[in-house]
Every structure is written in structure tokens, then in C-alpha cells.
Amino acid sequence: MEKIKIGLPRALLYHKYHIFWEDFLNRLGFEVIVSPETNKEILKKGVSLAIDESCLSLKIYLGHIDWLLSRVDYVFIPRIVSLEKKEALCTKFMALGDIARNTFKKEIKTIEYTIDIIEKQWEIFGILKAFSKFEKNPFKIILAYRAAKKLERETEEVKIQKQFTQIKEADNEKPTVLILSHPYTTYDALLGKPIVEFLKKQELSLIYADIVPKKEAMELSKNISRDLYWTYNKELLGAIEYYKDKIDGIVFLMVFPCGPDALVVNLCQHKIKNVPITVITLDELEGDAGLKTRLESFADILKIKKIQDGKRK
Amino acid sequence: MNKDNKFYLGLDIGSISTKGVIIDKDDNIIAQSYLWTEGDPINAVKKVIEELKESLGKEVKIVGVGTTGSARELIGTIFNATVIKNEITAHAIGTLKFHPDVRTIFEIGGQDSKIIIIDNGIVVDYAMNTLCVAGTGSFLSSQAKRLAIPVEEFGDYALRSKKPSKIAGRCTVFAESDLVHKIQMGHTREDIIAGLCDSIVNNYLNNVGKGKNIEMPIVFQGGVSKNIGVLKSFEKITNSEVIVDEYGHLMGAIGVAILAKQSDKEIDFDFEIKDLNFRTSGFECGGCPNNCEIVCVLQGNKILDAWGNRCEIGREKALAKYKQ
């Protein structure tokens, strides 16, 4: 029997959860198809499908779904409402499934389930329900879930250790810069990657805010704000606190228009005084001359400061 | 002529104007030139080099070339620059030469506006306008056209005003409709122009200068700094003394010439380079869905460099296209 094909759009939370998602689906015997790295065609398609006001990341997401439609049986779209009590996620993560179904109408078949900790809808319950029509034995689903979660934890740990080693072995003359952005911005081939590559060429050592011990980061985020309730933004803020003694500068990558980020950027600029921050806003318009000037001069500032600080010591 | 004397050329190629200076090993300016770019940076630089050569009146040995400004890569490639540096660093280095104690640099150019914060002689913070050109030189000159006043006389008009009109400075489009409205209401041109100057300054301080620690001494540069109306508005609104000096427009070029001097690389620059034929040519790669726009820089039919590509395919295609 041919395997059922499940499509994962390489956008939004894919960049955060792909280890778990891919492994879990493989274990249940599905063929997993991931859309390619974002390219201009996917972007163009996404922009034409989405409503004007949605953020660039969501537009890209729809472009990826469009690529998948002719190639898969189902598109995998979990609905993530809340991951912690008294916290929330951006509404687009709640609405993804609805937006996708409403955009593609009859063309799309989705696999969806809800995670909403506030309403006591834990992930495993949602998964059991969503996959019961494919796998009659619930224990197999639970085993696959556990194994995939374990792999996710282990991979995460390896990434964190690798980043720690990089910080420890950091060159004394090479400034360390924290890339502060959501994984779906940082690792997107059109959004974050070109910037990351450019910064590397400027001889900076880059570390990433999404690679951080999560629990500690969440606790530390309270030093910057106690009231912030967007889970993913809290993680990012926590990462600043966690790494603040080890970094020389912060590059905040923000996708236009992002409500939570717009607030958090201002919050950071007010609260973080001794680490230079530069904010880069990404949108679908091109023209990167100003962008390069900005990044280059930021790198210059950090390098000169590093040398001066070195002399003082 | 002493053959051991080494000189350095700095070129600042902006959207509106192109600046060139030649400095000696003690950073003294021995030649300078300032011309309109007129949408053709290569020719503008050729003319600048021509002017510099004429004003020198003698042969000098140039061993370093630096470029800055928005066309720095293009011109840097063509003229084999030893240093290609962004405007912010170049301006800071140049300004520190003349004002070693400077803390804040305001710069408003043709399409860019920037603020640079300096502490103890090093740049510690900066900001730059993003996509919006409200409050830059091109905004001023388009309003000047609307009022049929030469932009050079703007400053004098502003100074004559007793009560500047309030003009929305948030956005060029709104400012313009506001301006038309004030004209219809019967405000004098003097008041409106003074209001425009105020709105440029407010816009600058609220956007580019937002959250920045503005300390004296303040140096104001860029084309708009030549407008006395804007200068007075800056002094009034920041309540501090703002310095504009005669070399303000050349700071980027001077800075990058100093950087060329500091670099270890030396070249043998030939003034005759201005007579060579350079051109650019573009094509769409088509190697993948990204379809990058590739720009090739050519000397005659020989390719010097190509850019705009996201991956190697674009570069290979460019090289193949102009293979000898």
C-alpha cells in the first residue's frame, strides 16, 4: 500500500518544531514532504493569496502550502493557542488552519489538532484524536509521540551545548552578536538567512536567541518584563538576559507587520542600556542598500568597541 | 617633487552629489571636488577625478583609494579601491578629525538621514531612516519647486518668519497637503517655509533621533546642513549650539581617505583611469525561482565584477556571459 503523504510547510512553526513533527509522522508510517526553502516564487504566491494586513511570515506560509497542495494528501497544521498558563501566542497560530481552509477551500485537506493549556487541551489528547482515523492502536501513537519528543529534547540539548562551546571558545577580538528573532525569521532563506550570512562575513560570531535553556530563559524574562504574555517573545527576552554578559551586541530581526514584536522592540530599546541593539525590519519590498549600510556600520561599531575595551583591560 | 610623498583619494558617491578629496599623509586636504551625481555615478566620479587633477596642478603619487556612499561598491570595484566603507563609519572618522570632541552627528542628505552618537572618540550608536524619505533633501527640494522658490533661498525665507506655521512632518504626502492647505488659508510663504524647516527637524528628532542621547558638541552635516533655516530650527528645538563647518559636505570623503591611509594595502593609482570606458549591464539570472537581478561591471568587454546574486549560479552565469 502506498504511504499517505503529509505535507509540512517550511515556514512559521516548522522552524521550531520540525524535529518533533517529522519524526512523529515518520514513526506512524507517513511519507513526510517538506516544501523547499522559501524562494521568490513562493513569496509571490503567498503575497497574492494572503490578505494585505497579514504579516510577511504568514504570507510566506500560504505560499508554502500552495507548493504542497499538488504533492501531498494532507497538510499538517496544528493549532497552538497556549503553551503556558496565563500566556498566549500570536493569534495567527490559532487561526492557521482556518486561514488555510478558507484560502484554499476544497483544494486542501488538513490534519489539525489544538494545543491549549489554559483550556486543558494537552497536545497528546489532540494528537490521539487527530490520528485515530489513520492508526487504530492508540498506544502506537503514544509511543511515537514520546519517542519523537525525546529526539526533540536531545537535539535541542546538542544545539545548546554547541552554542555554549562557541561562546566559550570565542575569539577575544571577534564580537559576539545575539540574533534576536523568531526561528521562522532567522532560518528562512529569504528573510533571516541572507542577513545572517552577511553578518558572518563581517567577522562576527553569531549566537541565536532561540537556542537557550527554555525554563531558565522564561524565568529570566521577568527581569525585563513581568507582564509580557506572549510565550515566544518571552523566550526571546529571556535569551537576552541569559546571554547578556557574553554578547557585544544584539541584532533584532523583525518581520513587518508584527504586533507583539513591535511592542517588544520598544521594550528592549528602553530596558537594555548597556548592549548596543540594531533593529532590522523585513518586508516584501526589496532594495538592500540601506540594510547593508546599517549592518556594516553596526559591525564596525562592535569591532572598534571590542578593540578599545580590550586595550582598557 | 618629493617621490616619497604619498597621497590618498577619498570618494563619496551619494544619491544626489559626488564628493572627492585628496589628502596628504598628515590628513591635510590638498584638493577637493563636489559635483552632482545626476544618476550616473561612474561619469560623476570621472569628472570629480578630472577636477581633482586640474586643481592639483602637479603630479602626485596616490597610493590609496577609499570609496563610501550608496555607490561605493560599484565605484570601488571600478577604481580598484583599497577601502570600501559604509557612510556611517566614514562620516564619523572624518568628523572626528576636525572635531575630536564631537558627541553627536546629525546628517541629512539627499535621501538619507542619520544620527551618529560618539563617546570618547568611538561610535557607540547610530540610526538611519528606513524607507521613508520625509525630511530629507529631496523632500525639501520638491517643496521648493511647489512654492517656486529656489531651494538655495529657502534658508533666508525661513529666517524672515516671525511665526512659523505648524506643518505635519510625519509623512511627505501629509506635509504636502498640509502645506497646500496653509497656503490657501493665507499663511505667508516665509511662515510656511519656516514651518517646513521646523517640521523637518521634528520629524528627524522623532524618527531617526528617537531615544538617542543627544549631547553637545553637535555637528550637523549633509546637503541640508547648508540650509540656514533648518540649522536654526535645530538650534531652537534641541536648545543647543549646532556646528556646521565648511567641510561638512566632504566629511564622508575625508573619512574614507583617512581609512585608506590607515589600511595596509597600497596601490599605484593612475589618473588616466578616468579615460577608460566602464559600463554596467544587468540581466535576470533565471537559474532558480529566485530569479536574481545580476549587475555586471565591465571595462570594455572585460567583466570586473558582478553582484546581486544570492548563490553561485548567478555569478557563474555572469562570468560565462562575458567570457573572452
Chain A residues close to B211, C-beta within 8 Å: 269-270
Q: Is the pLDDT of residue B3 over 80?
A: no
Cell triple for residue B275? 579615460
| Domain finish residue from A93, A121, A150 | A150
Q: Which three cell numbers stand for residue A246?
A: 557574553
User: In this structure, are residues B143 and B173 in contact, taking their beta carbons and an 8 Å threshold?
Assistant: no
Q: Does residue A126 contact residue A78 with C-beta atoms inside 8 Å?
A: yes
Q: Is the pLDDT of residue A161 over 90?
A: yes
- Confidence label for B1 from pLDDT (cuts 50, 70 and 90): very low
Q: Could you say which of A115, A150, A185 is where a domain stops? A: A150
Residue A226: CB atoms within 10 Å: 7
| Location of C-alpha cell 506512524 | A28
Query: Cβ–Cβ of A293/B130 closer than 8 Å?
Result: no
Q: How confident is the model at residue B53 (pLDDT cuts 50, 70, 90)?
A: confident
ipTM: 0.71
> Which one of B13, B74, B86, B207 makes the best mutation probe of the A interface by having the most chain A beta carbons within 10 Å?
B86
Radius of gyration of chain B (CA): 22
Q: Do A141 and A183 fall within a single domain?
A: no
Question: Do residues B110 and B16 lie in contact, with contact meaning Cβ atoms separated by under 8 Å?
Answer: yes
Question: Residue A13: which domain range?
Answer: 5-150
Same domain for A175 and A296?
yes
Q: How many domains does chain A have?
A: 2
Helix residue spans in B40-118 (DSSP H): 41-56, 72-78, 87-98
On whether both A125 and A259 belong to a single domain, the answer is no
Which CATH number covers residue A274? 3.40.50.11890
Three-state DSSP at B137 gives helix
Q: For chain B, say whether A102 makes contact (Cβ under 8 Å).
A: no
Which CATH number is B278-321 given? 2.20.25
Residue B103: phi and psi, rounded to 5, are -110, -35
Percentage of the residues of chain B whose pLDDT score is greater than 90: 7
Residue B4 pLDDT greater than 70, yes or no: no
Share of chain A above pLDDT 70, in %: 97
Q: How many residue contacts between A and B have a Cβ separation below 8 Å?
A: 55
Contact A171, A140 (CB under 8 A): no
CATH of the domain at A108: 3.40.50
**Residue of B74, B130, B295, B312 to mutate, testing the A interface (most A Cβ within 10 Å of its Cβ):** B130
Angle at the Cα of A209 from the Cα atoms of A204 and A212, rounded to 5 degrees: 120
pLDDT of residue A312: 64
Same domain? A182 vs A273 = yes
Average pLDDT of chain A, as a whole number? 90
Question: Which residue from A minimizes the CA distance to B124?
Answer: A301
Q: Which residue of A has its CA nearest to B130?
A: A290
> Concatenated DSSP letters for chain A?
-PPPEEEE-SSTTHHHHHHHHHHHHHHTTPEEEE--S--HHHHHHHHHHS-TTS-HHHHHHHHHHHHHHTT-SEEE--EEEESSTT-B--HHHHHHHHHHHHHHGGG--EE--EEEGGGTB-HHHHHHHHHTTT-S-HHHHHHHHHHHHHHHHHHHHHHHHHHHHHHHT--SSSPEEEEES-HHHHT-TTTHHHHHHHHHHTT-EEEETTSS-HHHHHHHHHHH-SS--BHHHHHHHHHHHHHTTT-SEEEEEEESS-HHHHHHHHHHHHH--SS-EEEEEE-S----HHHHHHHHHHHHHHHHHHHHHHHH-
Specify whether A186 is located in the same domain as A137: no
Q: Which of chain A's residues have a Cβ under 8 Å away from the Cβ of B289? A: 39-42
Task: Please check whether the two domains, B7-91+252-275 and B101-244, share a CATH topology.
Answer: yes
With respect to residue A162, please indicate whether it lies within any of the assigned structural domains: no
Residue range B211-234: mean pLDDT, rounded: 86
Pick the closest to residue A24 from A138, A119, A202, A146 (CA basis).
A146
Does some domain include residue A157? no
pLDDT at A307 over 60: yes
Report the alpha-carbon distance of residue B168 to residue B81 in Å, rounded.
Answer: 43
A101-155 confidence digits (pLDDT tens): 999 998 999 999 999 999 899 999 999 999 999 999 999 999 999 999 999 999 9
The residues spanned by each domain of chain B are 7-91+252-275, 101-244, 278-321
Does residue A155 lie in a domain region?
Answer: no
DSSP code, position B21:
E
Residue (of B126, B132, B101, B119) closest to B212 by Cα position: B126
A301/B125 CB distance under 8 A: yes
Is A160 domain-assigned? no
Structural domain includes residue A164: no
* Whole-Å CA distances, B283 to A43, B261, B286: 21, 36, 9
Q: Are A253 and A282 in contact (CB under 8 A)?
A: yes
The second-level CATH assignment, the architecture, of B7-91+252-275 is: 2-Layer Sandwich (3.30)
Fold adopted by B101-244 = Nucleotidyltransferase; domain 5 (3.30.420)
Same domain, A10 and A140: yes
Contact at CB, B290 and A39, closer than 8 angstroms = yes
What whole-number distance in Å separates Cα of residue B82 and Cα of residue B94? 17
A159 assigned to some structural domain: no
Cβ-based contacts of A301 with chain B (< 8 Å): 122-126
Q: What is the pLDDT of residue B120?
A: 79
Judgement on whether residues A114 and A181 belong to the same structural domain of the protein:
no
What helix, strand, coil percent values describe chain B, rounded to 5?
40, 25, 35
- Asked if residue A158 belongs to a domain, the reply is no
Q: Give yes or no for a contact between A231 and A264, defined as CB atoms under 8 angstroms apart.
A: no
Beta bridge partners of B8: B23, B64
* A115 and A188 share one domain: no
A242 occurs within a structural domain: yes
Residue of chain B nearest A268, judged by CA positions: B211
A144 and A176 within one domain: no
* Amino acid letter for position A192: G
Give pLDDT tens digits for A212-247.
998 999 889 888 888 888 888 888 999 999 998 999
| Residue A313's pLDDT band (cuts 50, 70, 90) | low
Q: Helices B189-207 and B172-185, interaxial angle, to 10°? A: 160
Helix axes B189-207, B228-238, angle to 10 degrees: 60
pLDDT tens track for B103-139 = 999 988 877 888 898 887 888 888 887 666 667 787 8
